[in-house]
Amino acid sequence: MLIGIIIALIIGLVVTAIVANIIQQQKEKQEAERRQEMAKHRAVIEETEHVIANDIGIPISPLGYQVLYRRVLNTLKAMNRVTPKHKDILARIQDVTNKLEANDFPQVDNEAIRIPDNDKILVVMIQALKKYRTILRTEHNKGSIAGPHFAEEDKRIERLQLRINISSQVRRGKMAKNNGMTGSARQYFEKAMATLEAQVYDDDYITNSKAEVQSYLDDIARELSADKAAKKAEFEEEQDNLDALFAPKKKW
């Protein structure tokens, strides 16, 4: 009888240990999943706030700021569901909510944006625009931004990217031309013209840019034509001199 009780107690302890271990493993799994989900939310917020900080000065419209801050707010609320009533998260939710309600965001004008001359800064600006555009598309796919508003903002970014592209190509073309690299200059201008002609819409910027680029191409064409004519004349003069040198001497 006593042996049976001891065996039962041992079995009970083993079962209890197994159950406790399973419960502990489940808790550890849930905690790991919670940390992973929180890390994912923090990455979204950091990415979005980096665009909001806008150190490079890309033109974000009031609508764009609304989308960005709503993205942060929704992510903070998701974090609060994972870790309820966390004081820091609740404070940030209130802060972002106040910003959205105030709606005090700067107005922008694409035409007033200065395109940097430094290629490194230009690359950073293009990367920032691509990131901003990707976030807009993501939020649009989630239904966080209405179709017409998304199309308007997306088109504005697309036109700014066009301005940056054309400005960069023209600047490089002018530099190559000034350095006597006429062939390279022509390639830059031809690439800019091809980009402009590939646009499915037309506006004053495209019309004026086409005229500017065409004028550079015409100048290069005239220079190349003049060089060709000069080389031909030089060659013909050399041939005349050779003919005169080797021509039969006249007998007097």
pLDDT in tens, 154-169: 888 888 889 888 988 9
Contact 122, 168 (CB under 8 A): yes
93-142 pLDDT tens trace: 999 999 999 988 887 776 667 777 787 888 888 888 889 999 999 999 98
Write down the pTM of the prediction: 0.72
Number of H-type helices and E-type strands within the chain: 7, 0
pLDDT(241) > 70: no
**What is d(CA 234, CA 6) in angstroms, rounded to the nearest whole number?**
117
DSSP helix/strand/coil, 37: helix
pLDDT digits (tens, 9 = 90+) for 51-95: 988 877 788 888 899 999 999 999 999 999 988 888 999 999 999
Spatial separation of the C-alpha atoms in residues 68 and 60, rounded to whole Å = 10
Shortest CA distance to 66 belongs to which of 161, 160, 149? Answer: 149
In angstroms, the Cα distances linking 39 to 36, 42, 70, 86, 202 are 5, 5, 19, 15, 45
Residue 239 banded pLDDT, cuts 50, 70, 90: low
How would residue 252 be classed by pLDDT, with cut points 50, 70 and 90? very low
pLDDT at 97: 94
